[in-house]
């Protein structure tokens, strides 16, 4: 099943301020999320089954937190943290 990716305006503004390499890595990651979110992310906290769950992904310099909703078939980017 393909999920709709939602990137809120505040996160889009944050992405625009990142170095070009980080932006490219995020775009490649976002391209995979709609169909492969279970394989490219890890559970956030306890891995509790349910229709809505948080997951994280560690990229080269960034940590991305997403919210996956099976009810609305969406993936929402909640936060992008610059680990450095």
Sketch the domain layout of the chain as residue ranges. 4-82
Q: What percent of the chain has pLDDT over 70?
A: 100
Q: What average pLDDT does this structure show over 23-39? A: 95
Query: Which is it for strands 74-82 and 4-6: parallel, antiparallel or unpaired?
Result: parallel
CATH number of this structure's domain 4-82, picked from the four choices 3.40.50.2300, 1.10.3720.10, 3.30.2310.20, 3.40.50.300: 3.30.2310.20
Q: Helix crossing, 20-40 with 9-16: angle to 10°? A: 130
- pLDDT band of residue 54 (cuts 50, 70, 90) is very high
Q: What average pLDDT does this structure show over 42-56? A: 88
Distances (CA, A) of 17 to 4, 20, 38, 45, 49: 24, 9, 28, 29, 35
Confidence (pLDDT) at 84: 73
The tokens describing 70, both together, are 């099976």
Taking 80 as the threshold, does the pLDDT of residue 14 lie above it? yes
Using CB atoms within 10 Å of the CB of residue 16, give its burial: 0 to 12 exposed, 13 to 18 middle, 19+ buried. exposed
Count other Cβ atoms within 10 Å, centred on residue 64: 22
For the chain, first and last CA: distance in Å? 34
């Amino acid at each position: 099943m393909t999920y709709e990716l939602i990137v809120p305006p505040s996160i889009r503004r944050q992405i625009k301020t990142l170095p070009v390499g980080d932006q490219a890595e995020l775009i490649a990651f976002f391209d995979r999320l709609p169909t492969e979110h279970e394989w490219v992310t890890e559970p956030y906290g306890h891995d509790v089954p349910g229709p809505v769950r948080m997951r994280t992904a560690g990229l080269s310099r960034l940590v991305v937190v997403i919210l996956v909703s099976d009810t609305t078939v969406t993936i929402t980017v909640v936060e992008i943290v610059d680990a450095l």
